Amino acid sequence: MSPQPQAAVGAPLSRVDGRLKVTGRAKYSAEHEVAGVVHAVMVDASIGRGRITSIDTSDAEAQRGVLAVIHHGNAPKLPYKDNKASNNPPGARLRVFQDDKVRFHGQPVAVVVATSLEVGQHAASLVKVRYDAEHPTTELSKGEPDKPTEYSRGDVDSGLRKADVRLDLTYRLARNHHNAMELHATIARWKGDKLTVWDKTQWVVGTQTELSTVFDVPLKSVRVISPFVGGGFGSGLRCWPHTVAAALAARVVKRPVKLVLTRKQQFFGTGFRPEYEYRLRLGADRRGRLTAMAHELEHETSSYETFTEGVLDPGRMLYSTSNVSQAYRTVPLDVNTPIWMRGPGPATASYVIESAVDELADRLGIDPIELRQRNEPDEDESSGLPWSTRRLRECYTVGAREFGWERRSAKPRARREGDWLIGMGMAAGVYHTARGAAEAHVRLAADGTAIVETAASDMGPGTYTSQTQVAADALGLTVRNVTVRIGDSLFPPTPPHGGSQTMASVGSAVLDGCDKVRRRAVELAIEDEDSPLHGVNAEDVVVRSGRLHVKGDPARGETYRQLLSRNDLGHLEADGSYAGAPGTERHSMHAYNATFAEVAVDATLGLVRVRRVLGVYDAGRIISPKLAESQAFGGMVGGIGQALLEHTATDHRDGRIANANLADYLVPVHADVPDLKAIYLDGEDREADPLGVKGLGEVVMVGVAPAIANAVFNATGRRVRQLPITAEALL
Ligand code: MOS
């Protein structure tokens, strides 16, 4: 930890970029003004599997203003070199317009480029594609699963045999789409063999490497710019076909090209949280101690890539159980490739595990919190490692007290208000603490202002703000005098803005860079005979509001401005870095929560209304309390969506997504969101990273859906083992 006073970190700052956002001056991908830009409109496959037999572009090309219609018959061949430095899953990525094969409904088959969007849209409707269509397989139960990934410890069969209570439960979770407000969009411009793209992405470095390998141009020839992201939830974690299509089109027409996916096209042009079937068998003794857990789960992936996510972790470490087995299968289907979506993995696993544990508690007549307490492990039983910090017990007790858990009736369907059945539920949530290698450049100017540059993104959690807070304290500046610049591949590289690793990774690099600059200034002053700090011990100097002084003797000191100008220095600068997680961890690191929900269910109509949600989080140190609360609320809203509303529906006759719009794909709106409350346990995790943070953007969504599902059971006595819990399911 830095010896610096912490004034900005921990303060409930409003977003430093808030004014830019609410006044519309923050530029999102499609809004950048690029001279001479023309418009690209994608033509999507209208079959779910098969081959293109012909494409007739004559009517489209005859439209005034159409510059090109690009498809597999005329597109330049693209190198598509291997790219290991990306989030591409194993397999062969979709090669845009490189062959006649249709792999899923909606796959891009042509792109029209026109001088106006309207002409482009009209011309795209005139492109006539003929197919040799086959019947696609898009149903999870009809696919051929891949070989499983397996894990086991102990002996599950004997653990189940000796159990006093056994449950064998199968859960189904619908496919979910991220549906951030901002549509995915790309503007691509070539100058010679130098490519610049303005892109909606959560990882400018990833998009940069992908484009450089697709087009086989040097990494340095590709620049990716993405200063603002209007929500992501994971959909921006890899470079999608439309970004390649925009760059390809720009090369063909030799003009900058803008391509904005429509809301409908988001549903097959980017990834999604895959549909799951998850069978969990568990056994417990009469006191509720788990004797065995057997997890068998499968989810969809595409026919060309094998997407997987960290869904197995909670089942191995959340509860103490000697006997655990897991079999995890992907099922290739005629669909596009899934991608991580908020709380990826644990948000799925926790719904299943936490629902089953609630069912077990009910069967045994033990309070669900008490049951969890009885199964609290002393160490990570999957690795034998000690916890860095794990304060789940505290989350339970604080949550129970704050929520009024004692008012819950153990007997379901016991509380009624008119037509409404009222129930309470709770669940635990967990998400591993991820960290990746990151760098930042810090430059302190002679006027006492600083600029921090790092390639990181801000899809909403508030990277600009939280990094400003870290930098301000480490440099000893006020927040106003620090400017953080992010979202540009020209800046020092960072890991993907996902998996809750930005604060730990980028924050630690920013801290390092700022510490270096401050120390350099302190050294300079100490060695400078004209400085009031001459000869002082470096450890005794602190910097506050741009002024260096002796700790405990504020009168003895001088400002950065005085120091730098006397020494004829225009600025001081340093590169900060953070190495990421070590090869071998010595601790098991996770963020945790206990989430509580109260619901009202219309006894006749099956409508579920969430009345209250409370989350209590053990997420390590909180850099930015106001933004942390905003993250928690966002996670709860996402969890309400997952629990009750969100469901991507596929028409299995042709593989078409039937509800690819925001009228039919339901997301929570204001009226669906009740009183929310978030409590962060005060503390830090010294093992995790120099800042002591454990990540919070993902964990806040984990546990919300099962808390709601358990509340629905408590209200109605009905167990619905599927998400979303619809009114139909409750009738
Ligand atoms: Mo988060 S799913 O890693 O954007």
Residue finishing a domain among 578, 607, 627? 578
Alpha helix stretches (DSSP H) within 641-717:
704-716
pLDDT in tens, 421-431: 999 999 999 99
Cα 204 to averaged position of ligand 1 atoms, centre (Å): 15
Among 340, 459, 631, 700, say which to mutate for ligand 1: greatest number of ligand atoms within 8 Å of CB: 340
Looking at the domain assignment, is residue 173 inside a domain?
A: no
Q: How many CB atoms lie within 10 A of CB 166?
A: 16
Helix, strand and coil content of the chain, in percent to the nearest 5, comes to 30, 30, 45
CA of 263 to the centre of ligand 1 (A): 20
**What pLDDT, on the 0 to 100 scale, is given for residue 721?**
98
Task: Verify whether ligand 1 is closer than 6 Å to residue 340 (CB atom).
Answer: yes
Instruction: Write out residues in the chain with pLDDT < 70, as ranges.
Output: 1-2
Pair 476, 598 in one domain: no
Distance 501 CA to ligand 1 centre (A): 9
Does residue 717 share a domain with residue 644?
Answer: yes
Q: Name the catalytic one among 31, 300, 698, 728.
A: 698
Residues contacting residue 167 through CB under 8 Å, at least 6 positions apart: 280, 281, 282, 283, 356, 359, 360, 363
Residue 498 Cβ inside 6 Å of ligand 1? The answer reads yes
- For residue 434, the CA-to-ligand 1 centroid distance in Å is 11
> Considering the domain boundaries, does residue 292 fall inside one?
yes
Whole-angstrom Cα distance, residue 181 to residue 62?
A: 35
Distance 392 CA to ligand 1 centre (A): 23
Residues 189, 244, single domain; the answer is yes
Which atom of ligand 1 lies at the shortest distance from residue 499's CA? 3
What's the 125 CA to ligand 1 centre distance in angstroms? 34
Query: For position 2, what pLDDT does the model report?
Result: 66
User: Would residue 698 show up in a list of annotated catalytic residues for this protein?
Assistant: yes
- Are residues 409 and 511 located together in one domain of the fold? no
* Within a domain: 211: yes
* Domain-located, residue 152: no
Is 499 a pocket residue for ligand 1 (Cβ < 6 Å)? yes
Query: Is 344 near ligand 1, meaning CB less than 6 Å away?
Result: yes
Which domain range does residue 377 map to? 276-434+585-730
State the closest ligand 1 atom to the C-alpha of 235, by its place in the atom list counted from 1.
4
CB distance 232 to ligand 1 below 6 Å:
yes
Ligand 1 center to residue 420 CA distance, Å? 36
> For a pocket test of ligand 1, which of 87, 178, 203, 233 has the largest count of ligand atoms closer than 8 A to its C-beta?
233
Atom 3, ligand 1: which residue's CA is nearest? Answer: 498
Check whether residue 218 and residue 284 sit in a common domain: no
Best probe residue, ligand 1, of 341, 348, 432, 696 (max atoms within 8 Å of C-beta): 341
- Using N-to-C axis directions, what is the helix angle for 502-527 and 463-475, rounded to 10°? 20
pTM higher than 0.95? yes
- Using most ligand atoms within 8 A of CB, pick from 176, 201, 342, 435 the residue to mutate for ligand 1: 342
**Index of the ligand 1 atom closest to the CA of residue 698:** 1
Residue 635 shares a structural domain with residue 562: no
In a domain, 179, yes or no: no
Same structural domain, 289 and 413: yes
CA of 29 to the centre of ligand 1 (A): 19
605 and 563 share one domain: no
> Which atom of ligand 1 is nearest the CA belonging to 341?
2
Contact (CB, 8 A) for 425 and 707: yes
Query: Quick one: which atom of ligand 1 is closest to the CA of 496?
Result: 3
Query: Does the CB atom of residue 233 touch ligand 1 within 6 A?
Result: yes
- Domain co-membership, 425 together with 440: no
Same-domain check for residues 697 and 554? no
Q: How many domains does the chain have?
A: 3
Tell me the C-alpha distance between 39 and 61, whole Å: 14
Same domain flag for 219 and 321: no
Nearest to 134 by CA among 95, 106, 104: 104
Atom of ligand 1 nearest to the CA of 232: 4
* Predicted local distance difference test score (pLDDT) of residue 202: 98
Domain boundary among 219, 253, 269: 269
Question: In this structure, how many other beta carbons lie within 10 angstroms of the beta carbon of residue 722?
Answer: 16
Q: Please tell me the distance between residue 690's alpha carbon and the centre of ligand 1 in angstroms.
A: 22
Q: How far apart are CA 288 and CA 301, in angstroms?
A: 36
Q: How far, in Å, are 250, 651, 729 from residue 657 at the CA level? A: 29, 6, 22
690 lies in a domain? Answer: yes
Q: Among the atoms of ligand 1, which is closest to the Cα of residue 234?
A: 4
Atom of ligand 1 nearest to the CA of 236: 4
Which mutation among 203, 311, 698 tests ligand 1's pocket best, with the greatest number of atoms within 8 A of CB? 698
What is the C-alpha separation between 75 and 413, in angstroms, rounded? Answer: 63
Beta-strand ranges (E) seen in 128-268 are 128-133, 149-153, 165-173, 185-191, 194-199, 222-225, 257-260
| In contact, 46 and 105? CB cutoff 8 Å | yes
Residue 264 within any structural domain of the chain: yes
Report the C-alpha gap between 286 and 467 in whole angstroms: 50
Let me know: does 199 contact 210? Beta carbons within 8 Å: no
Say which residues have a Cβ less than 8 Å from residue 339's Cβ, sequence separation at least 6. 87, 234, 235, 237, 238, 270, 271, 272, 307
What is the four-CA torsion angle of 630, 636, 641, 643, rounded to 10 degrees? 170
pLDDT of 683: 96
Query: 338 in ligand 1 pocket by Cβ < 6 Å?
Result: no
> Domain with 504 in it: what CATH number?
3.30.365.10
Residues 77 and 99: their CA atoms lie apart, in Å, by: 10
On whether both 352 and 458 belong to a single domain, the answer is no
Contacts for 92-96: CB closer than 8 Å, 24+ residues apart:
92/304, 92/305, 93/304, 93/305, 94/241, 94/304, 94/305, 94/336, 94/337, 96/241, 96/244, 96/245, 96/248
Specify the pLDDT at position 3.
80
Q: Which of 544, 578, 612 represents a domain boundary (last residue)?
A: 578
- CA atoms of 45 and 110, how far apart (whole Å): 9
Is 4 within a domain? no
Answer whether 431 contacts ligand 1 (Cβ < 6 A): no
Ligand 1 mean position, distance from CA 344 (Å): 7
Helix segments in 528-595, DSSP class H: 560-566
Question: How far, rounded to the nearest angstrom, does the alpha carbon of residue 274 sit from its chain's CA centroid?
Answer: 15
11 CA distance to ligand 1 middle (Å): 26
Closest-CA residue, ligand 1 atom 4, reads 234
* pLDDT number for residue 1: 47
CA angle at 244 for the pair 241 and 248, rounded to the nearest 5°: 135
Other beta carbons within 10 Å of 336: 27
